[in-house]
């Protein structure tokens, strides 16, 4: 049986292990590095985690426990008061079920803003320049993309529409502004001028109709799943560029493939997918799409920063 005050880590901490261990100076540390959902629930029922007041989890730990849905939350120890989630997106946690249990949920959006925004600009540049054919051809000895080489587009003076102007969206806007893009956004609420940094607030429909490039930077929840599907593609400008570094299910991938095939979407840059790690074959086959394997936060600095933030909360 654990003492009355313990912190539980689900999964591994590869970086900032020292900071996690330092939390042991003021609280007992418990770890569940691997296992299964069934085993985790069994341990909850057997009282192995009694006394745990805070759980540290991440998106990577989801492969161990599965979603923190109502079923799993109902099995967590009565002592639990906090769930600290390493990551900006927390769509795999049922916050409503946590609230009904009196459990507070925290995440780490600020820590991942810059790295994710950097990848969004990388994808934007790659998509506008249709970089994939040239990138692949140079390793095959074909100069400048071979016989199918195509010209790309400049970022300067393009209208960037940001759907979701939170911390990551604002970081994308700041970077895109340096390239001379014109920034507009749609959000659940109008931002104060200091957070807009010169960006123009528009309606969702106007954002779709008037953006040359559309960047998705919003959270996934039941109301935003497939927020971009065929009806939305139909009202976009011909030749629009789509960038997604948020969550894959925000886009109906089948509709995106169709829009790419008919030329409605000129190119796309994607770091996330609807059924990860599976990617729609139509996206893989299309050379006008720049694909990354969900590496938006894959930097040493960004892997350390959220762990430190969570350890500060625990301590």
User: What is the structure's pLDDT at 108?
Assistant: 87
Please give the backbone phi and psi of residue 215, each rounded to the nearest 5 degrees, phi first. -110, 125
The 10s digit of each residue's pLDDT in 33-71 is 999 999 999 999 999 999 999 999 998 899 999 999 999
Mean pLDDT score across all residues of the chain: 93
Per-residue pLDDT at 279 exceeds 50: yes
From CA 313, how far away is CA 310, in angstroms rounded? 5
Q: What is the dihedral of CA 293, 297, 303, 309, to 10 degrees?
A: -140
Angle at 181 (CA atoms; ends 251, 154), nearest 5 degrees: 85
Which domains are assigned to the chain?
Answer: 6-107 (3.40.50.720), 112-291 (3.40.50.720)
Q: What percent of the chain has pLDDT over 90?
A: 78
Over residues 192-220, the mean pLDDT reads: 96
**Poorest-confidence range of 88-92, 244-248, 274-278?**
88-92
What the block records as the tokens of 35 is 């296992």
Angle at 58 (CA atoms; ends 74, 191), nearest 5 degrees: 100
From CA 78, how far away is CA 80, in angstroms rounded? 6
Per-residue pLDDT at 3 exceeds 50: no
Angle at 176 (CA atoms; ends 170, 177), nearest 5 degrees: 90
Over residues 214-227, the mean pLDDT reads: 96
The 10s digit of each residue's pLDDT in 145-197 is 777 788 999 999 999 999 999 999 999 999 999 999 999 999 999 999 999 98
User: What is the structure's pLDDT at 76?
Assistant: 97
Which residue intervals of the chain are DSSP H helices?
17-22, 37-45, 62-65, 70-73, 95-100, 109-128, 131-137, 167-178, 193-196, 204-210, 230-235, 253-261, 281-285, 300-314
Active site residues: 247, 276, 294
User: What is the structure's pLDDT at 313?
Assistant: 75
The 10s digit of each residue's pLDDT in 12-27 is 988 888 888 988 888 9
Handedness of CA 16, 305, 296, 31 (dihedral sign): positive
Long-range pairs, 1-4, Cβ under 8 A, ≥24? 1/47, 1/50, 1/51, 2/28, 2/30, 2/48, 2/49, 2/50, 2/51, 2/52, 3/28, 3/51, 4/51, 4/79
């Amino acid at each position: 049986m654990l003492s009355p005050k313990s912190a539980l880590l689900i999964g591994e901490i590869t970086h900032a292990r020292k900071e996690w261990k330092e939390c042991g100076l003021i609280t007992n540390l418990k770890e569940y590095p691997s296992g299964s959902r069934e085993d985790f629930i069994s341990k909850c029922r057997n009282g192995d985690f009694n006394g745990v007041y805070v759980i540290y989890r991440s998106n990577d730990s989801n492969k161990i426990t599965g979603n923190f849905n109502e079923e799993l939350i109902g099995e967590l120890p009565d002592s639990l008061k906090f769930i600290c989630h390493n990551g900006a997106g927390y769509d795999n946690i049922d916050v409503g079920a946590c609230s009904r249990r009196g459990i507070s949920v925290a995440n780490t959006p600020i820590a991942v803003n810059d790295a994710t925004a950097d990848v969004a600009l990388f994808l934007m540049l790659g998509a506008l320049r249709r970089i994939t054919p040239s990138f692949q051809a140079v390793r095959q000895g074909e100069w400048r993309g071979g016989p199918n080489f195509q010209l790309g587009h400049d970022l300067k003076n393009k209208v960037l529409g940001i759907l979701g102007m939170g911390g990551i969206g604002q970081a994308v806007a700041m970077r895109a502004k340096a390239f001379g893009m014109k920034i507009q956004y749609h959000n659940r609420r109008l931002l104060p001028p200091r957070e807009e940094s010169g960006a123009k607030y528009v309606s969702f429909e106007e954002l779709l109709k008037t953006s040359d490039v559309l960047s998705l930077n919003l959270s996934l929840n039941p109301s935003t799943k497939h927020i971009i599907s065929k009806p939305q593609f139909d009202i976009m400008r011909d030749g629009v560029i789509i960038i997604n570094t948020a969550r894959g299910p925000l886009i109906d991938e089948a509709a995106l493939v169709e829009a790419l095939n008919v030329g409605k979407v000129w190119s796309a840059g994607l770091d996330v997918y609807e059924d990860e790690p599976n990617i729609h074959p139509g996206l893989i086959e299309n050379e006008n799409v720049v694909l990354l394997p969900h590496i938006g936060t894959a930097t040493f600095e960004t892997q350390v920063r959220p762990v430190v933030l969570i350890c500060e909360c625990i301590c």
